[in-house]
Amino acid sequence: MTLKGKTAVITGSNSGIGLGIAREVAKAGANVILNSFTDSHEDHQLAKSLANEFNVSARYIRADMSDPEDCRALITKAGTCDILINNAGIQHVAPVDEFPIDKWNAIIAINLSSAFHTSAAALPIMRKAGWGRVVNIASAHGLTASPYKSAYIAAKHGVVGLTKTIALETAEEPITANAICPGYVLTPLVEAQIPDQMKAHDMEREEVIKKVMLARQPSREFATVEQLGGTTVFLCSDSAAQITGTTISVDGGWTAL
């Protein structure tokens, strides 16, 4: 599969899943635009190292996905956008009646509204180019719920709904829109929680992963950022041209329960 000549804009891609996806699409030949709300030397170095490793063009563009104007400016500054991967996301855990209003607003803005704004800016560019792919990183929590994650779950269900709407509005064009729904993924953030969980439960690494952290993931294995990148590359391929408006779970069987 080659994505040579295509440009992928990946929101929230200076770490974790976004960076993993950026690496896989770059490996498939796409030029990449990395993004987060910071503007550090490391952010720009990340883009340089991707460009060198995969012989593609790569840039880092700062844009805060909680700000509608920044979301739209990211696409304008990218100049082109054949593949839009809406990945930026945050989490906060609290019961509904104690959920801080500012956290609710931030999660809805970053995890849901940003995908609306970037898509609104990118679709005319895709139409002009005569080809496009929107890949939204939702979650198993876009299809099921858990207590204490109201804003995240509302946002991720919203992302699935937004994906279906974009798919219907572009159905007669060579543009597709799909959502990937990961279960628990081994990112640096998750890796960092393992020592604390081992201490809290007095368990060895493998035991705490399988019995505590992956209690809802029947495979008892984390999904990997490479697998999510591979799923994204597939959705960008010609084989996936008739796959639109749907969700693909990468969750070790979580949503089959």
User: Which residues contact ligand NAD by CB under 6 A?
Assistant: 12-18, 36-37, 64-66, 87-90, 110-111, 137, 139, 182, 184-185, 187, 189-190
Task: Confirm whether 152 is a catalytic residue.
Answer: yes
Closest CB 50 distance from ligand NAD, rounded Å = 14
Nearest 5°: CA angle at 131, between 111 and 125? 65
Of 166, 177, 173, 165, nearest to 136 by C-alpha is: 177
**φ and ψ at 45, to 5 degrees?**
-65, -35
**Cβ-based burial of 242 (10 A; exposed 0-12, middle 13-18, buried ≥19):** exposed
Task: Pick the closer one to ligand NAD by CB: 154 or 241.
Answer: 154
**CA–CA separation, 73 vs 96, rounded Å?**
33
Of 107, 116, 96, 228, nearest to 161 by C-alpha is: 116
**CA–CA separation, 11 vs 173, rounded Å?**
24
Task: Pick the closer one to ligand NAD by CB: 170 or 187.
Answer: 187
| 108: CB partners within 8 A, 6+ apart | 151, 154, 155, 158
Task: Pick the closer one to ligand NAD by CB: 66 or 170.
Answer: 66
Closest CB 197 distance from ligand NAD, rounded Å = 14
Task: Pick the closer one to ligand NAD by CB: 103 or 127.
Answer: 103
Closest CB 77 distance from ligand NAD, rounded Å = 14
Per the CB < 8 A criterion, the answer to whether 43 and 36 are in contact is yes
Closest CB 4 distance from ligand NAD, rounded Å = 25
Q: Which residues are catalytic?
A: 152
